[in-house]
Structure 1
Amino acid sequence: MSKYLVDKFLYSVDRDPELTERYREDPVELVAWWEANLAGSLLNCIPAEQTTWLAFTDEERRALAEHDHVALFGMGAHPFLTLTLFIALFERDHGPMEYQLAYARALDHVTQPYPDIAT
């Protein structure tokens, strides 16, 4: 897994309201589009320098497409990046702090030591 690439996806989608909405409405399409069009350019890689780490694994692609923050956390994605993006995606569908509490409950089974989130 390229934790850096997954974290870059989470960060860049969260910082762009248009991408956030596209990710909310059609995550499969947005993940595929981002991987094909932005993965290399956001990391300043010219085509001759692109390598396989500039592509998601099938597991990463599935977790991103399914908005599966528990799987992403288990793979080492930074929890603050998933939390802030997923708040932008889903908080409007819930009452105050309802989504954040549900997010935490979904990770309740995780015990220390947590997955390494260093990139």
Structure 2
Amino acid sequence: MSKYLLNKFLFTVDRDPELVERYREQPRATVDWWEAAYANRILGCHTGESSTWLHFDDREREALASHDYPVLFELGAHPFLTLTLFIALFERDHPPLGFQTEYARRLAHERLPYPDIAT
């Protein structure tokens, strides 16, 4: 499991409106494509450097592919990254602040201390 990779996915997808739409419409295909194309790229590196060891485990891949943000939270994905991306994905399907309310409701079972979000 790699909280770093989960957060990197959330961060990079959220910053590209085309990727947000692709992830909304084809989540599993987007996760698979992103993992193959971007998982091992070094953030902020423009020289083509990359690593070779980063990959999602099955639980991470399934949570991302099914838009299961409560599981992502349990896995240690940063809550601000999940919230901002999932607002971009689903706010349009809810009344004003409706998605934020739904997000809070689905995570209401969580109690302090929250999962560690350190990477």
The TM-score bracket by the shorter chain reads over 0.9
Q: How does 1:81-100 map to 2 (within 5 A)?
A: 81-100=81-100
Whether contact under 8 Å (2:42, 2:49) holds in the other structure is no
One-letter code of the match for 1:17? Answer: P
Partner of 2:31: 31
Percent identity of paired positions between Structure 1 and Structure 2: 63
Instruction: Give unmatched runs, 5+ long, in structure 1.
Output: none
Q: Distance in 2 between matches of 1:32 and 1:103?
A: 25
Give runs of ≥4 in structure 1 deviating > 6 Å.
Answer: none
How many equivalent pairs are there? 116
Unaligned runs of 5+ in 2: none
TM-score computed with the length of structure 2 as normaliser? 0.93
- Higher helix proportion, which one? 1
Conserved 8 A contact 2:40-2:52: yes
Q: Normalization by structure 1: what TM-score?
A: 0.93
In the other structure, the counterpart of 1:50 is: 52
What per-residue deviation string (whole Å, max 9, x for no partner) do you get for residues 47-82 of structure 1?
6x411xx10000000000000000000010000000
Deviation string, structure 1 residues 9-50 (Cα, Å, up to 9, x no partner): 000000000000000000000000000001112445846x41
Q: Distance in 2 between matches of 1:88 and 1:12?
A: 13
- Inter-CA distance 42–17: structure 2 relative to 1 (3 Å threshold): farther
Cα displacement (A) at 1:89: 0.2
